[in-house]
């Protein structure tokens, strides 16, 4: 007797869920819709809710004007991932498995580091980079962006590597492998999931960064895509169709991330916030 | 090479003279004496050295620089060439007496409070809803993450366009409801509300994910027992779910607080803190002082930034304490 009712209820819930999802994602749909709208239709009332007279003009503007920005963002993203992995994976291994004295203090410092607002770091970096001649360089941006990701990376690696059985490491030791060898040929290969999670989030954060880009690279010859969009908005030419087309292109990494690595995303959000 | 190290460790173990009690090797290793322990400490810190040096050079030093900036009287010249005179707390005094101070403080409190309240409330309602496991619920939950993953500049530009006074879709929606258009971003009455709305939208997914994972940890049996005893859905939420979710709620809110305090991108891109400071918070004020004008005021900018750091760290420490206590419990 309860079965068909539960089915109907389930369908009703799915319907409500779809409605909520549609409301939540409306801004994303609107960005997509308007990026395909012709310039002359952008300000008409009522606005068209479907790109019936769709155009790719906005995307042509992206290809004509934004490719160098996209390339810079790609380079900064990859560089930041490399730097973050190189720093946080060994640290995670040490904290999880080698029981160093002072581990508690270091973990504490990392947690606190995560909470420092980016704008404050930006001002400090500006002063440091100015003296070091690193303003307006992509390398400088890689270093600054990595500060968003390294504490998170250490946290993820520590949590993950703590779950690797000690017996495996002991076996390696018995076979004569030193700590470095154990780390490189046993722990790292087993930590694939942690590597993927850290890399994905690091890339996304570096790709999305606006604070460091606008303070440390505002006069650079190579600027990331976030500044490309910002200049578009600031130019007052109000080419919203091109602005939103660029925004769509800039959202591609996030979309790919969600499709390819859904389970890593939820894992990444909860790591460090809730103990499991 | 491998063989020699192997023999060396083996013989070392043999010479250690630990009675073979058949204990697992790890227990034996721990009893192996101070020399071995010291060498494993060396190995541990060798792995930690890069990140430690990194923290000193790229966290501590910029922060120290920031503190130094806030305590000196910088001009563009002295910023580049050094030799700015020490000003003590002069910059902090300037900032405290600045007419922007009290509105910035008020906006920071209102922005943070409103965002937290709505993000948490909506996030919790959605988490409870999606916890019911109907068809497609997992897919929809994943889709809800999109706003959180988009670059902030993307969200901010999209909202700017949607809230445009003349051609924005939001005002068109209001028009359909018979409400006069609102100058969302250009009127001082609405600018703060506009950035709050955009930021709530961005923060909902984070709350949803954390609270959902908290819900999963609550044993299902409790609900079933309560339902058998005739408790209504609302009663079950009030008396079981909500109290048991308290630890996760505390973590979510505290972490949200620390994150919301430092929100800068959204506000700056949508309104630049304007019009006339009507959406200025500490974060945007600090940025404007340091970078937003032709003549930068690095000293006062750093001073505002440091006030923000202190506030963020106070709540950050409360968060860490709460988390530690929960982990211990």
Most confident of A270-274, B9-13, B33-37, B161-165: B161-165
Phi, psi dihedrals of residue B18, rounded to the nearest 5°: -70, 130
- A144 to chain B, closest Cα gap in Å: 8
Q: Give the number of beta-carbon pairs within 8 Å between A and B.
A: 291
For chain A of 276 residues, list the mean pLDDT of each consecutive stretch of 10. Answer: 59 92 95 88 81 85 90 96 96 91 88 87 90 91 94 90 87 85 90 89 93 90 91 77 91 84 70 44
User: What is the C-alpha to C-alpha distance for residues A71 and A68, in angstroms, rounded to an integer?
Assistant: 5
Point out the least confidently predicted range of B9-13, B173-177, B189-193, B211-215: B9-13
Answer whether B79 sits within 8 Å of A130, measured CB to CB: yes
At residue A236, the pLDDT reads 61
Surface-to-core class of residue B327, CB atoms within 10 Å of its CB (0-12 exposed, 13-18 middle, 19+ buried): exposed
Give the model's confidence band at B34: pLDDT under 50 very low, under 70 low, under 90 confident, else very high: low
B6 has a pLDDT exceeding 60: no
Distance CA B93, CA B300 (A): 9
Predicted local confidence at residue B11, as pLDDT: 32
pLDDT at position B195 over 90 = yes
Q: Would you call B291 and A215 a contact, using CB atoms and an 8 Å cutoff?
A: yes
Q: Which tokens hold the place of B71?
A: 């305590």
Cβ-contact B44, A98 below 8 angstroms: yes
Q: pLDDT per residue over B206-249, tens digit each?
A: 999 999 989 988 888 888 888 888 888 888 888 889 999 998 99
Tokens read off for A259: 């499709």
Cis bond leading into B311, ω under 30°? no
Provide the shortest C-alpha distance from residue B264 to chain A (in Å): 8
Cα distances (angstroms) measured from residue A178 to each of A169, A213, B268: 10, 41, 51
What does pLDDT average to over chain B?
84
Question: From the CB of residue B85, how many other CB atoms can be counted at a distance below 10 Å?
Answer: 10
> What pTM, to 2 d.p., does this model score?
0.86
Distance from CA of B32 to the nearest CA of A (A): 15
- Judged against a pLDDT cut of 80, whether residue B36 lies above it is answered with no
pLDDT at B158 over 50: yes
Lowest-confidence segment of A180-184, B155-159, B324-328 by average pLDDT: B324-328
pLDDT at A259: 79
- Among B208, B238, B203, which residue's Cα sits nearest to residue B114? B203
d(CA B238, CA B102): 38
Tokens of A186: 């046993």
Q: Which residues of A touch B44 (CB under 8 A)?
A: 94, 98-100, 179
Nearest-by-CA chain B residue for A263: B142
Query: Residue B165, class by beta-carbon neighbours within 10 Å (0-12 exposed, 13-18 middle, 19+ buried)?
Result: middle
B94-126 pLDDT tens trace? 889 999 999 999 999 999 999 999 999 999 999
Distance, CA of B307 to CA of B309 (rounded, Å): 5
Structure tokens at B116: 């937290």
Tell me whether residues A274 and B213 touch, CB distance under 8 A. yes
What angle (nearest 5°) sits at the alpha carbon of residue A9, between those of residues A7 and A10? Answer: 65
Of the candidates B189, B206, B180, B200, the residue with the CA atom closest to the CA atom of residue B274: B189
The answer to whether the CB atoms of A128 and B65 lie below 8 A apart is: yes
C-beta of residue A245 within 8 angstroms of C-beta of residue A61: yes
Of B46, B151, B306, the CB nearest to A251: B151
Q: What is the DSSP string of B254-294?
A: HHHHHHHHT--HHHHHHHTT-STTTT--HHHHHHIIIIISS
């Amino acid at each position: 007797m309860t079965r068909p009712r539960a089915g109907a209820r389930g369908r009703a819930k799915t319907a409500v869920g779809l409605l909520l999802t549609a409301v939540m994602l409306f801004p994303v749909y609107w960005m997509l819709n308007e990026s395909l709208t012709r310039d002359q239709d952008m300000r008409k009332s009522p606005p068209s809710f479907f790109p019936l007279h769709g155009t790719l003009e906005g995307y042509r503007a992206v290809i004509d004007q934004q490719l160098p920005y996209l390339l810079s963002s790609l380079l900064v993203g990859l560089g930041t991932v490399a730097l973050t992995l190189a720093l946080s994976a060994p640290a995670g291994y040490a904290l999880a498995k080698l029981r160093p004295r002072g581990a508690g203090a270091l973990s504490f410092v990392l947690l606190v580091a995560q909470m420092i607002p980016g704008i404050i770091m930006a001002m400090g970096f500006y002063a440091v980079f100015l003296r070091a001649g690193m303003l307006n360089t992509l390398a400088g941006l890689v270093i600054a962006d990595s500060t968003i990701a390294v504490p998170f990376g250490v946290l993820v690696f520590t949590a993950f590597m703590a779950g690797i059985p000690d017996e495996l490491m002991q076996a390696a030791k018995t076979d004569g492998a030193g700590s470095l060898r154990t780390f490189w040929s046993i722990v790292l290969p087993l930590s694939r999931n942690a590597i993927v999670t850290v890399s994905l989030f690091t890339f996304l954060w570096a790709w999305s960064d606006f604070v460091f880009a606008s303070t440390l690279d505002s006069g650079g010859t190579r600027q990331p895509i976030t500044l490309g969009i910002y200049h578009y908005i600031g130019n007052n030419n109000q080419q919203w169709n091109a602005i939103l087309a660029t925004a769509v292109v800039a959202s591609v990494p996030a979309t790919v991330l969600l499709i390819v690595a859904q389970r890593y995303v939820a894992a990444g959000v909860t790591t460090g916030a809730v103990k499991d | 090479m491998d063989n020699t190290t192997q023999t060396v460790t083996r013989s070392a173990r043999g010479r250690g003279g630990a009675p073979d009690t058949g204990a697992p090797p790890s227990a034996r290793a721990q009893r192996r004496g101070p020399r071995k322990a010291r060498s494993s400490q060396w190995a541990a810190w060798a792995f930690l050295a890069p990140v430690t040096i990194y923290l000193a050079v790229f966290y501590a030093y910029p922060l120290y620089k920031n503190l130094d900036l806030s305590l000196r009287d910088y001009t563009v010249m002295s910023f580049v060439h050094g030799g700015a005179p020490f000003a003590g707390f002069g910059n902090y005094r300037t900032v405290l007496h600045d007419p922007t101070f009290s509105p910035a403080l008020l906006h920071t409190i209102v922005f943070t409070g409103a965002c937290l309240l709505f993000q948490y409330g909506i996030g919790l309602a959605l988490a409870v809803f999606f916890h019911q496991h109907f068809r497609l619920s997992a897919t929809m939950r994943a889709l809800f993450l999109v706003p959180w993953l988009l670059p902030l500049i993307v969200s901010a530009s999209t909202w700017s366009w949607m809230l445009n006074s003349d051609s924005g879709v939001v005002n068109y929606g209001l028009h359909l409801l018979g409400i006069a258009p609102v100058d969302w971003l250009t009127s001082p009455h609405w600018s703060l509300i506009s950035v709050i709305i955009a930021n709530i939208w961005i923060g909902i997914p984070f709350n949803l994910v954390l609270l959902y994972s908290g819900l999963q940890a609550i044993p299902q049996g409790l609900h079933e027992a309560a339902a058998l005893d005739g408790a209504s859905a609302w009663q079950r939420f009030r008396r079981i779910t909500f109290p048991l979710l308290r630890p996760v709620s505390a973590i979510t809110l505290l972490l949200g607080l620390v994150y919301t305090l430092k929100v800068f991108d959204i506000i700056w891109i949508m309104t630049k803190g304007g019009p006339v400071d009507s959406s200025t918070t500490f974060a945007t004020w600090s940025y404007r002082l340091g970078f937003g004008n032709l003549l930068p005021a690095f000293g006062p900018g750093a001073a505002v930034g440091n006030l923000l750091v202190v506030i963020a760290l106070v709540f950050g420490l409360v968060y860490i304490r709460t988390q530690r206590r929960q982990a211990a419990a």
